[in-house]
Amino acid sequence: MRPVLALPELNPVPLTPGTLYLVATPIGNMEDITLRAIRTLRDCDLVAAEDTRHTGILLKRLRLAKRQVSTHKFNEAKRAGEIISMLEQGGTVALVSDAGSPGISDPGQRVVEAVLAAGQRVEPVPGACALIAALTASGLPTDEFHFCGFLPVKSGQRAKRLAKLLDLPGTLAMYESPYRITKLLGELAELAPAREVVLARELTKKFEQIQRGTAMELLERYGEKKPKGEFVVLVGQALGSAGKQSADEMN
């Protein structure tokens, strides 16, 4: 039997009563959780989880027995009221998503807004984030980047949104599902054929993959291979300008 996880003595500050803690969890590799995140999950009164089954696995691996409530995109408004009530009574709540930082293309934003509007305290417990992991390993400029989450599903809205985003300076970052990644690469091949594109998937896991090339080059790699896993997609800025496509790219 494994020993109960013991945290090193780092003179941690006790949790503050009446605080909502935004706790980042691993995006793949279980070792990517921070000591502070473990302590917060251990000491909080309640864990508000996107999926209690998923978070239950994490808690079990950490040998923590905690009360959980599901807090996902379909019940955020209702759950926010319950969380605020607990905070007003001096309780502490750890908000977590299935992976990474809650509120980044994951549930959490509406809860945070409601808690702040109620005059209660919110504190981040930073950690793993797929966006930052991919960006720093991409080789593309990191001094300025624009993150847009997931693009619209409908083709018309999607194309219009993407065209506007490609006019922004710096590196463009977005998330995409395996079901629409080839569609996105096709759109990028048409709108920005000369720009460097980086695809990152399965980050921090055993089969982590970071691919670089033009959109067409990457699209050809998936011609006979079905994409798997959620992707972080990064697009370099146009050559010769800060945010506007060069003449060569438009021709």
Task: Say what the pLDDT of residue 245 is.
Answer: 44
pLDDT at 7: 61
pLDDT at 246: 41
- Is residue 25 within 8 A of residue 48, CB to CB? The reply is no
- Give this prediction's pTM: 0.88
- Quote the pLDDT of residue 83: 97
pLDDT score for 4: 55
In the sheet that holds 92-96, the strands lie side by side as 68-70, 46-49, 92-96, 19-23, 121-125
The confidence score (pLDDT) of residue 110 equals 94
pLDDT tens by residue, 16-27? 999 999 999 999
Pairing of strands 92-96, 46-49: parallel
- The whole-number pLDDT of residue 223 equals 74
All domains of the chain in start order, with CATH: 19-125 (3.40.1010.10), 130-250 (3.30.950.10)
Residue ranges of the chain with pLDDT lower than 70? 1-11, 240-251
At residue 45, the pLDDT reads: 98
